[in-house]
């Protein structure tokens, strides 16, 4: 297991470099991946998109479903990622954000990631300790991600206030003909969505969320894609 990410420092990590390659560590053993509404249209052709209730009951979070049980990613085949679209939450690897004691977000790095090196790659800091242009790009990516995620969460909150979410366990039949149901998933209720008032519908259109909603609904057909990828002896 990789070490816990640590806060980046221009002293501790003055010679740290990032190797420009995709790391399978970012997706191995991951059966769910966080998604923003802005990603739904790009993600929907590849995997189903569901919503989960936040553990602190603060709302709902969208996820791409990679597998039908924990630590199962059916889109990793022969040491390659075959998912087509790579969520922004995964593209940040080996970097992540953590909340410090004063509620500030701190940029962290997994020092043991396979795309982190002290011998080759893109340096994060110059000799004088200042950020390199590459590191400034990383910071910009996270700033943009935070802004986009805030917009996404606000719109999801609006969808929740319209009472459009419904519990809908992920159901499937495996190759052996055995039925399964995974609970805890939520979807947008198509009947309630179609019954929205003109004012409510136009408010969703105003925020540009309609393509995301339709993409989410169409993505549910991708459950069949997951089933086809199941090992023949899957239980």
- Mean pLDDT of successive 10-residue stretches along the chain, which has 235 residues: 78 94 92 96 96 87 94 93 94 90 85 94 95 95 95 94 91 79 92 95 92 96 89 62
CB atoms under 10 Å from CB of 4, counted, come to: 11
**List of residues 6+ apart from 44 with CB closer than 8 A:** 215, 216, 218, 219, 222
What pLDDT was estimated at residue 157?
94
Give whole-number Cα distances, 32 to 17, 67, 86, in Å: 28, 7, 12
Quick check: 73 and 28 in contact, CB under 8 A? yes
- The pair phi, psi for residue 201, each rounded to 5°, is -60, -45
Please name which of 88, 113, 103, 101 lies closest in space to residue 5, comparing C-alpha atoms: 113
C-alpha–C-alpha distance, residues 97 and 104, integer Å: 10
C-alpha–C-alpha distance, residues 158 and 203, integer Å: 10
CB atoms under 10 Å from CB of 59, counted, come to: 16
Give whole-number Cα distances, 158 to 21, 54, 144, 168, in Å: 38, 15, 21, 20
C-alpha–C-alpha distance, residues 93 and 83, integer Å: 16
Element (H, E) at 6: strand 6-7
What pLDDT was estimated at residue 235?
46
Quick check: 61 and 196 in contact, CB under 8 A? no
What pLDDT was estimated at residue 3?
60
Quick check: 81 and 24 in contact, CB under 8 A? yes
How is residue 232 annotated by DSSP? T
Instruction: Calculate Rg over the CA atoms of the chain.
Output: 20
Query: What residues are paired with 167 via a beta bridge?
Result: 186
What pLDDT was estimated at residue 233?
62
What pLDDT was estimated at residue 109?
95
């Amino acid at each position: 297991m990789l070490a816990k990410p640590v806060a980046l420092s221009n002293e501790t990590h003055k010679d740290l470099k990032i190797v420009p390659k995709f790391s399978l560590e970012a997706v191995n053993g991951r059966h769910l991946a966080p998604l923003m509404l802005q990603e739904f249209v790009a993600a929907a052709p590849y995997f189903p998109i569901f919503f989960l209730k936040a553990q602190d009951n603060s709302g709902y979070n969208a996820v791409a479903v990679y597998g039908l049980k924990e630590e199962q990613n059916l889109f990793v085949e022969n040491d390659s990622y075959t998912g087509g679209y790579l969520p922004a939450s995964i593209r940040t690897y080996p970097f992540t954000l953590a909340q410090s004691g004063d509620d500030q977000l701190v940029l962290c790095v997994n020092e043991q990631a396979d795309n982190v090196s002290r011998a080759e790659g893109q340096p994060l800091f110059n000799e004088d300790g200042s950020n390199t242009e590459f590191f400034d790009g990383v910071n910009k990516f996270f700033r943009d991600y935070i802004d986009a995620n805030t917009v996404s969460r606000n719109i999801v909150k609006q969808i929740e206030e319209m009472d459009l979410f419904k519990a809908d366990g992920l159901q499937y039949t495996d190759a052996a003909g055995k039925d399964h149901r995974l609970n805890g998933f939520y979807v947008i209720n198509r009947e309630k969505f179609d019954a929205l008032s003109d004012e409510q519908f136009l408010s969703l259109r105003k925020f540009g969320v309609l393509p995301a909603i339709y993409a989410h609904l169409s993505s549910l057909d991708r459950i069949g894609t997951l089933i086809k990828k199941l090992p023949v002896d899957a239980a």
